[in-house]
Amino acid sequence: MNLRVPQCSKFLYLVIGLVATISILFGISIKGYTDEKTFDVENSVYDMDENQILNIMNEYIYINENGIREFDLNRAIDNNLPDEILEIGNTMNNIVLEAEKEKKNDNLTVRIVKRATFLVYGNYCGYGNKGKGKMPIDDLDTACMYHDYCYVHGGNNTDCNRKFADRLRAVIKSAKKFSYKYNVAVGALAIFG
């Protein structure tokens, strides 16, 4: 019996061995099956608009025990979401955390907390804001001011939040992508939109 391997097969085995060795040395792995979706690194997060970012975020948003939308940061990290989206999710969670902290301090109802779940930004954004009688610092602060006024003047939750979401979308389009202002606006949109 002749066990001679043709020359082209030897070359193929050499290439496969070389690729496997390089993969091991540089920590490159072949992606296996997973139940969770992982982020496709070929799609740059900087090429996405806010709707695409929100669609990705929505896969990681759940309703917490207080009935407020929250971002599952651990699952997002496990699925290798880009740092920029993780930062927006973290900002969103800080908005929720601040509202829940204020709820405990002031004994507010969840309905009011849902309305006030926003970090202090500028003069009008956030629970306990200090804007009364002051000018808003920018368009995001202006959106928050109108949102506050809507509630004060008897606007309903759905209508006030819809108008706020529309204003947030305009802010997002003009803000520098992934700046603090952008992240706060997208985080607020994920909650109120």
Tell me, yes or no, whether 26 lies in a domain.
Answer: no
pLDDT recorded at residue 65? 87
The CATH number covering residue 67 comes to 1.20.90
Which of 4-13, 69-78, 145-154 is the least confident region? 4-13
Tell me, yes or no, whether 142 lies in a domain.
Answer: yes
Exposed e or buried b for every residue in 106-117, given b needs 16+ CB within 10 A?
eebeeeebbbbb
Amino acid at 149: Y
Percent of the chain topping pLDDT 90: 38
Tell me, yes or no, whether 84 lies in a domain.
Answer: yes
Residue 69: beta bridge partners? Answer: 63
Give the integer Cα–Cα distance in Å for 168 and 164.
6
Tell me, yes or no, whether 21 lies in a domain.
Answer: no
The CA-based dihedral angle spanning residues 3, 6, 9, 11, taken in that order and rounded to the nearest 10 degrees: 120
pLDDT at 18 over 90: no
pLDDT recorded at residue 59? 96
Tell me, yes or no, whether 171 lies in a domain.
Answer: yes
Q: What is the pLDDT of residues 50-103, one digit of tens each?
A: 999 999 999 999 998 888 889 999 999 999 999 999 999 998 888 777 766 666
pLDDT recorded at residue 139? 97
